[in-house]
Amino acid sequence: MAQLTILRYPDARLMKPSEPVEVFDENLARLVADMGETMYKAPGVGLAAPQVNVRRRIIVLDTSENKDQLMVLINPEIIETSEEKKLYEEGCLSLPHIYEKVERPARVKVKAQDIHGNWFEVEGDGLLAVCLQHEIDHLKGTVFVDYLSPMKRNRIKTKLLKEEREIKKAAAAGNHAAKKGKKVKK
């Protein structure tokens, strides 16, 4: 298994729709295992394939207390949503340290395929409902900050871009110092 690199918002690759999975083979099983490992290590409760630069309709999630119930949904579709809505504070592995309240249907029913291609249904409320909708949104190229006001979204974008520049600068400084055999100050 391998840990995959998670794309950071506002990377344009996060805003593109994903294609359905048609081949249920070893490569798919490996990708799903790697996505699970990446999600647990991050740590997060959900991860969609486009977040690791694979534009396929695949999501993994685990909203269990002990983090021992990995759910894998291939080609997931929401087939029922409740009238009742709920506000929930969401975060995303592609937007580190950003948490904002988003309103969504309180309960959803989803149909999806497993890694062998068998269809099944899952119904959830609470965190599971939020997570299912959030991850399925990723497959459409939608990120949770898309539900916020343009002003708020721009502020988040600016903050994340600034952070990214700082990370790159620190990495470059580290490489430079390493080449010269100097110690990097912390």
| Minimum gap (Å) between residue 136 Cβ and Ni ion | 10
Residues 113-142 that bind Ni ion (CB under 5 A): none
Task: Choose the binding region for Ni ion from 60-68, 85-93, 120-128, 164-172 (rule: CB under 5 A).
Answer: 85-93
Which residue has its beta carbon closest to Ni ion? 92
Cβ-based nearer residue to Ni ion, 92 or 112:
92
Task: Choose the binding region for Ni ion from 65-73, 90-98, 104-112, 119-127 (rule: CB under 5 A).
Answer: 90-98
C-alpha to C-alpha distance for 8 and 118, rounded to whole angstroms: 32
Is 135 tagged catalytic? yes
C-alpha to C-alpha distance for 33 and 27, rounded to whole angstroms: 10
Q: Which residues are near Ni ion by CB under 5 A?
A: 92
- The catalytic residues are 135
